[in-house]
Structure 1
Amino acid sequence: MMPATEPPITCLVLEDDLLMRDLVGSFVEQVPSLQLVGLHEQPLAAFEQLARQPADLLISDIEMPGLNGLELVRALRQPPLVIFMTSHQKYAAQSYEVDAVDYLLKPLAFDRFLRAIDKARQILQYRRKALSIPEQVPAPDESVPPGSTPAEEYFFIRTEMQFVKLRYNEVVYIEAMRDFTKVYLEDGTVHITLVNLKNIESQLPALLFVRTHRSFLVNASKIEVITNQDVKLLKVAVPLSLTFRDAVTERVVQNRLITRRSS
């Protein structure tokens, strides 16, 4: 899964159920790019190890006696990437709050586990490359006079060793992943850039993009359905938090809502 030149992904597993802990440990040992550095039953033992010896990835159950998996991640000053395991869908929204890489429902399937690991691998691989490359700024486009609006609305992001041009109307949504973001396009392409969501939001047109959640910025024109929990755009559901619900509804629906008027 990972080039031989890349360092292994150090991985710590936290699970209070013995059978599940052994299963996840066996999954980790089958993946050559993973290096198991801890297999814990108690959240406090995992917390102490991570505080003393940081790991790249934490694979953790959520529901445990005492400190649960979500509370553990929030308590860490520099938490690793996290993949949560649980038997309940109800924790999905909270997992977004701590920028979890993935959310696995029990019983675990090995192929689904591998997809989650591959997400973590891509994030770590990109982060290592991005942090090793000096920041560069492209020369200004002198073909467009300052203050004018270009014929095609677009912006650039820096991803790995190149600058990529993205048009506003091809961006579906943008997801925060701690110190970087993932930009999802209509054609299914995903770009990762080492810029946080707050900075991206401040530099994109406020009339085109709307925040639905602390971790999500969406293209308002792509929203097709708004519920109390999420917005649906191009068959993808993106979380909608209570904080942003009224603003999103007002922005998207505006005066286009057909109502029943009294005669």
Structure 2
Amino acid sequence: MDCIAIDDEPLALDVIEYHSERIPFININSVFTDAFKALDYLQCNAVNLVFMDISMPDISGLQLIKSLPDPPMVIFTTAFSNYAAESYEVNAVDYLIKPIEFDRFLIACNKANAIYKREMNPENVPSGKFMIIKSGHESFKINFEDVQYIEAEGNLVNFVASDKKVVTRLSIKEVLKLLPKEQFIQVHRSFIISLSYLKKFENHQLIVADRSIPLGGIYKQQFIDLLNGNKTKSTS
């Protein structure tokens, strides 16, 4: 898993890096003592897991994770136990009290790895050719091949298909679990597109059906990799 660590105390970061070196599936890509620099990094890079202190200058770890529209998994690391209840309101994987012992650190990392594997497991890819989406008191059958893109607007998500538009109360994360991964990809915090309706793309913009859709920096490399993968399959 690609990870970063955020703590205003360099010694605390040293402990996390030291423990992480003993766990094969944990890759610490960057560490930050400045929470705002970490926030900039998270907005431009795909990260699976964040180790984060809660009590930091300027912005707390809880405030930082709440500010992200599509946050990665987080393991909080702190010297205080009084934040535990609030940490689980943001679906924290675990809550580690300093000084952090390796055995407790390993338990938290194993929890995160289990979640990561469950989300990445190809057995979870939906089968069939359609899905049923509830909108208000009605339910709609939507064929995967008809969906052009999905757009998040506040607490609602719009499924835009060639023959209809269906509005429902789902998150982008929940929607992704309903869609075949070989056909759909998230390209922005508010957009999922169908590759079947992709007409062209530029540096930061896609044309899907007749709609201009932004390509977010954090999603760009994944998008290019998927396109290249599909291209390789079609020529082999």
TM-score (norm 2): 0.53
List runs of 5+ in structure 2 lacking aligned partners. 129-171, 179-236
Which residue matches 1:140? none
| 1:42 and 2:34 matched | yes
2:111 to 116, 119, 129: 119
Letter in 1 for 2:28: L
Query: Following superposition of structure 1 onto structure 2, how do residues 80-159 of structure 1 map, counting pairs within 5 Å?
Result: 80-129=72-121, 133-135=125-127
Which amino acid in structure 2 is aligned with residue 91 of structure 1?
A: Y
Partner of 1:207: none
Deviation at 1:133, TM superposition (A): 2.0
* Cα offset, 1:19, TM superposition: 1.0
Matches within 5 A, 1:1-263: 9-129=1-121, 133-135=125-127
Look at both structures and tell me which one has the larger radius of gyration over its CA atoms.
Answer: 1
Residue 132 (structure 1) shift? 5.1
Do the aligned partners of residues 26 and 128 (structure 1) sit closer, same or farther apart at CA in structure 2, a change above 3 Å counting? Answer: same
**TM-score of the pair, normalised by structure 1:** 0.48
One-letter amino acid matched to 2:104: R
* Residue identity matched to 2:116: L
* Counterpart secondary structure, 2:28: strand
Residue 73 of structure 1 aligns with an amino acid whose one-letter code is I
SS at match of 2:99: coil
Shift of 1:135: 3.9
CA–CA separation in structure 1 for the residues paired with 2:41 and 2:22: 23
* Distance in 2 separating the partners of 1:131 and 1:66: 43
CA pair 98-134 structure 1, distance change in 2 beyond 3 A? same
Number of equivalent positions: 134
Q: Could you give the per-residue CA deviations for residues 99-151 of structure 1, whole angstroms, max 9, x where no partner exists?
A: 00000011100000000000000000000116752246xxxxxxxxxxxxxxx
**Separation in 1 of the partners of 2:19 and 2:121?**
27
SS of aligned partner of 1:89: coil
Report the equivalent of 1:156: none
| Structure 1: gaps of 5 or more residues | 1-8, 137-177, 181-193, 196-263
| Aligned-residue offset at 1:179 | 5.5
Name the CA distance, whole Å, in 1 between partners of 2:69 and 2:173.
14
Secondary structure in 1 matching 2:55? coil
The alpha-carbon deviation at position 35 of structure 1 amounts to: 1.3
**2:121 & 2:108 partners in 1: Cα distance?**
20
Which one has more relative contact order, counting CA pairs under 8 Å at least 6 apart? Answer: 2
How far off is 1:34 after superposition? Answer: 1.2
